Amino acid sequence: MLFTHYSKTLLTNRALWGWGVLFMVFWLVIGGFVESTGLPKGDSAVALNYTASWYGIINLFTLSSLGVSIAFSLIYSTHSLAYAFRYTKLKPLSYLANIVASSLIVGVVLSVIMLLLTYAIFSYRFGASAAPVNPALAVPVAALAGVFMYALATMLVLIIINALGLKNQNFVSFIPLLLGYVFGFTQLFVALPNIVIYASPYTAIQDLLYHAYSGEPIPEVLSNPTGTTLSPTYLAVSLVAWTLILLLIDSAMLRRIKPKSVEEARQV
């Protein structure tokens, strides 16, 4: 019941579709028709690598928007959750498992939609097929990324609920999306130290999605596919480790969740 309800809530969230899908179509158009003015038409190799770099960054933004939606959803349910954990059969681990499953499914749905949109827009722009080489790999990456975004958003929200107060929710709730823009655009054009790339779950998501789309080795700078390459294994391990650590933190913090009224978030 909880899994179905939460999945339906996320999939019908207008803000998520607006910022996570429709606004990302705007970025895809910018990438396809504005940023690519110096690239030739009809070259499949160029089209594929360029398209893969934009798929990685745009899908990262979409999944980061999912984190924002999750954050606001949890904020509005905090009061009922605190009492449900104490006076009903609902337990923090059960709640966590159901929401993780929902986030996984929604992450995959959004990523598949963005993959299809990316393929259509960039194939039209280049006049050549820009079809993904390994779309099946994008599915588990998107699923894990969806769980990571849930785990991160939940931790941030629980911090403001238990410690900082709901008046800080507007800024904290958007941290997943802000980090997505910072790391996404940075690695698209700037050579970050390898230790930063491997340590960041955001660059791991972006790079693994690029790898799934292009089927090529992952460059340090996604806009320069001829540079030094990265290990997809290390990136996957980093993303899995971050996700598990955050889920453990969420589990501990959910047990101590405090009842808060959403009226506390009102800005006076």
What ranges in the chain are assigned the alpha helix state H? 2-11, 14-17, 23-33, 44-87, 92-126, 135-159, 169-173, 175-189, 194-199, 201-214, 232-254
Residue 264 has pLDDT above 60, yes or no: no
**Calpha distance 143→27 (Å, rounded):** 22
**Calpha distance 70→10 (Å, rounded):** 8
Collect all residues with Cβ–Cβ distance below 8 Å to 24 and sequence separation of at least 6: 58, 61, 62, 65, 114, 117
- Does the residue 105 lie in any domain? yes
- Does the residue 42 lie in any domain? no
- Please give the helix or strand (H or E) that residue 219 lies within, else none: strand 218-219
The two structure tokens encoding residue 175: 């941290």
What are the backbone dihedrals phi and psi of residue 101, each rounded to the nearest 5 degrees, phi first?
Answer: -60, -40
- Does the residue 47 lie in any domain? no
The two structure tokens encoding residue 198: 């491997």
The whole-number pLDDT of residue 223 equals 78
Domain ranges, residue 261: 2-33+53-265
Residues 240-260 pLDDT 10s: 999 999 999 988 888 877 765
**Calpha distance 255→85 (Å, rounded):** 8
Number of domains in the chain: 1
Residue 198 has pLDDT above 90, yes or no: yes
Residue type, 130: A
Strand, helix or coil for residue 230: strand
The whole-number pLDDT of residue 92 equals 80
- Does the residue 122 lie in any domain? yes
Residues 65-114 pLDDT 10s: 888 777 777 766 666 777 777 777 878 888 888 888 888 898 899 999 99
- Does the residue 179 lie in any domain? yes
Q: What is the mean pLDDT of residues 212-239?
A: 89
Residues 227, 220 contacting (CB under 8 angstroms) = yes
Strand, helix or coil for residue 229: strand
Token pair 């963005």 is at which residue?
A: 114
- Does the residue 205 lie in any domain? yes
**Calpha distance 168→157 (Å, rounded):** 10
Q: What angle do CA 36, 179, 64 make, to 5 degrees?
A: 80
Least confident interval from 100-109, 144-153, 154-163, 208-217: 154-163
- Does the residue 193 lie in any domain? yes
- Does the residue 38 lie in any domain? no
Residues 253, 82 contacting (CB under 8 angstroms) = no
Residues 166-184 pLDDT 10s: 666 666 767 888 888 888 8
